Amino acid sequence: MSLAPASSPGQRIRVIIADDSAVVRGLMRRWLEADPRIDLVCLCADGAQAVAEAAARKPDIMLLDVEMPKMDGLAALPELRRAAPDMRIIMASALTAKGANTTIRALSLGATDYIAKPEASGLSGAEAYRKELIEKIVALGVKRAPAVPGRAPRYSLRQPAPRHIGKPAALVIASSTGGPAALHAFLQPIVRRIDAPILIVQHMPATFTSFFAVKLGEQVGKPCREATDGHVLKNGDLLLAPGDFHMRIAKAANGNTIKLDKSEPVNFCRPAADPLFETAAAAWGNKVLAVVLTGMGSDGKNGAGRVVEAGGRVIVQDEASSVVWGMPGAVATAGYAEAVKPLTELSSLTLSMMNGDAA
């Protein structure tokens, strides 16, 4: 269903909804048309129509359902990437094992992000979904101002920690929106060359993280698994915080261990990066390297501050290579980052730091 003529993108975020449910399309239409920041240009009932409209209209964002006639969401994804390379795709996913597995596959095929459909059919579930959907559309659709040569960045870098601190004993990583692809690109070149434990917080629901851990391990060439409570950390560990649990580090007689808990969300997230970063700093002191990748919000900022206070090191992904420069930007503008780099350079720098080669 065409709602607006194809036109040059303006300041409003241009969105296409692709869903075979007339009820869902009607609900989305009401929500998006009520927001002055969003221009809903088209409603599509199947994947083939979504590809054709994306090619013609070149929107900023598409909300893409999985189960659709003629061409489902997974089949449409490669076509959509070719039809509108700059368009960002949000997958609408069910909070089920099947939905989680499909979503992880979609992210590996080029989807930018996902949104989990509400489990409850009542008003509260729908309202939370509406709020999250609008936040994601706005975050992903914001037009970035082009970089101006010679203009000073909006942040100041910390001076590197003294070289005598030696090799970090642990690498802790935080990511959110755009994180699955970023983690793959960041870790794949270096993960097999780092002996220390690598601990990751990626904002994801409980159903999703087990599938994502397996997929990430396959992508980077080193087994990754969800962390378990009480696990004694050892060199070579590649662990992902399980969805709906904070992952913390606890000291024990037999070494540093994983502590999982369901305490209150931090920065509206569980798992959140701050609890991991803060407890890693307490456990390893100045022998921690924290890396913050793409993501909405500011999770990781306070924890990065604790890492710095303990004498550890913090580096973040740059704005140009981030899907959303919320989390890394918050750390950088707070003055906690030693370096702000694109992913490829961030990988190389991380490996040098973890090997004790970067002062």
**308: nearest Cα among 281, 332, 326:** 281
- Cα 327 from chain centroid? 9
Residue 255 region, left (φ>0) first, then alpha (ψ -120 to 50), else beta?
A: left
Directed axis angle between helix 301-309 and helix 273-284, to 10°? 10
Residue 352 annotated to the active site: no
Residue 299 annotated to the active site: yes
- Cα 107 from chain centroid? 11
CB 280 within 8 A of CB 305: no
Q: Catalytic residue, from 65, 203, 210, 318: name it.
A: 203
Q: Catalytic residue, from 39, 299, 322, 347: name it.
A: 299
Residue 176 annotated to the active site: yes
Residues 119 and 115: their CA atoms lie apart, in Å, by 12
Distance of CA 168 to CAs 165, 198, 307, 344, Å? 8, 11, 12, 20
- Residue 349 tokens read as 């720098």
Q: Catalytic residue, from 93, 175, 176, 210: name it.
A: 176
Catalytic positions, written as ranges: 176, 203, 299
